[in-house]
Amino acid sequence: MDVAEITLRIVPVDQVILHEGQDPLVIKKLGERLRSDGLLRNPPIVAQAGQRYIVLDGATRTGALNYLGVRDTLVQIVDYAAHNISLDSWYHLIVKTPPSELLARISGIDGTIIERVEPKQAEHDLTLGISMCYLKLRNGATYNVIGVDHLELNIGLLNRIVDVYRGRTDVYRAVTTDLNILTREYPDLQMIVVFPRYTPAQVTRLALNGAKLPMGITRHLIGGRAIGINLPLERLESNESLEEKNAWLQKWLMEKIHERKVRFYQEPVFVFDE
C-alpha cells in the first residue's frame, strides 16, 4: 500500500456523525487526556456521505473532541466499499449476574419476544434477520430475542436490551460463542449476547437517520489505518479557515514523508502505548 492512497483531511466536527452510542464517562476521561497531551494521536476513520462523515472507528475520540469544544478534527477518509474494509460484530459477555435475572429484565421490554431455540436455529434466525439478537447461557441454553420488522425500531429495542446489563455488571467483548474457550478466560461468564452482522448500507442508513447502535457492537476491520499522526490540538482549535488548515496539513504530511517518518506495516502488530 502506498502512502498516496491515504486520505487525511481536517473537517468540521459538526459534520462528523456517529452510528453507535457513547459512554459520557469514557468521553470525559479521554477528553481530559487529549487536553493534557495536546495531541490527536490517531484520527477517526470515516466514510464520506455527501457533506457528512460517518465514523467507522473512533467514536470516543470524536465525542472527546466535542466535549472539549474543538471546532475541527482530523479524519482519515476511506471507501466503505473497498476490499480492505470488512464489517463484523462483537458479542457481549456478561459475567456474575444470574441469567434468570437478565432473562426476566429482557422479557419485560415491550416489543420483544423471547423464545428458547436450538443453537443452530438461533444462528439461522439471526442471519436471516428473524431475530435481532440471541442469548447463549453458560449451560448452553439458547434464546432468540425477536423484535419488529423495522431497522430503526429494532435498534431502539436493542439499546434497551443492552441498557439492562451495561453499567450494572461487568461486560466484555468477544468474537466467538465457544463456551469452552470463553469460560476458561472468563470463569464467571453467565451469558453471551450475540448480535447480527450489519451491512455497510445499514450502518450508513442508521447514521444518516440519527439512529445509533449500542456502543461496542460493530467491528470494522480496516486495512491501511493511519496511526501516530500526533496532530497538535491547537492547530484544530485555531481560527484559521479549513482551507488554510488543510493546506498546512498537506505540507506537514509531505515533510513527514520526505523525512521518511511514514511506514507501512503489512504484518499485524501489537501496540502497547495506546
Instruction: Decide: 232 and 39 in contact? Cβ < 8 Å.
Output: yes
pLDDT tens string, the chain, 274 residues long: the values are 566 678 999 999 999 999 999 999 999 999 999 999 999 999 999 999 999 999 999 999 999 999 999 999 999 999 999 988 999 999 999 999 999 999 999 999 999 999 999 999 999 999 999 999 999 999 999 999 999 999 999 999 999 999 999 988 889 999 999 999 999 999 999 999 999 999 999 999 999 999 999 999 999 999 888 888 999 999 999 999 999 999 999 998 888 888 776 766 665 666 666 5
**At which of 194, 228, 247 does a domain end?**
194
Cell reading at 195: 448480535
Q: Has residue 215 been placed in a domain? A: no
Q: Has residue 115 been placed in a domain? A: yes
Instruction: Decide: 52 and 206 in contact? Cβ < 8 Å.
Output: no
Model pLDDT, residue 137: 98
Model pLDDT, residue 258: 81
Among 46, 242, 71, smallest CA distance to 250 is for 242
Among 226, 240, 232, 246, smallest CA distance to 35 is for 232
CATH code: domain of residue 80:
3.90.1530.10
Q: Which tens digits make up the pLDDT trace of 90-126?
A: 999 999 999 999 999 999 999 999 999 999 999 999 9
Q: What is the tally of structural domains in the chain? A: 2
Strand partners, 89: 218
Q: Has residue 209 been placed in a domain? A: no
Residue spans of alpha helices (H) in 109-165: 119-128, 151-165
CATH code: domain of residue 129:
3.30.1760
The most distant pair of C-alpha atoms in the chain lies apart, rounded to whole Å, by 61
Q: Has residue 247 been placed in a domain? A: yes
Domain check: are 104 and 9 in the same one? Answer: no
Q: How far apart are CA 20 and CA 218, in angstroms?
A: 8
Give the domain range for residue 178: 91-194
Domain check: are 20 and 48 in the same one? Answer: yes
HEC-encoded secondary structure of 207-230: HHHCCCECCCCEEEEECCCCCCCC
Q: How far apart are CA 84 and CA 98, in angstroms?
A: 40
User: How far from chain centre, in Å, is Cα 54?
Assistant: 11
Residue partners of 104: CB distance under 8 A and separation at least 6: none
Domain check: are 114 and 45 in the same one? Answer: no
Model pLDDT, residue 22: 92
